[in-house]
Amino acid sequence: KIDKSGIRVYGTTYYPEIPLENEDRFVYTIDGDRLDSLAYKHYGDVTLWWIIAKANGLRGKPVLTPGKLIRIPSDIVGIIENFNTLNR
pTM: predicted TM-score of the whole model, two decimal places: 0.86
pLDDT in tens, 15-61: 999 999 999 999 999 999 999 999 999 999 999 999 999 999 998 77
**Contacts of 60-64 spanning 24+ positions with Cβ under 8 A:** 62/34, 62/35, 62/36, 63/32, 63/33, 63/34, 64/29, 64/33, 64/34, 64/35, 64/38
pLDDT in tens, 56-86: 999 877 789 999 999 999 999 999 999 999 9
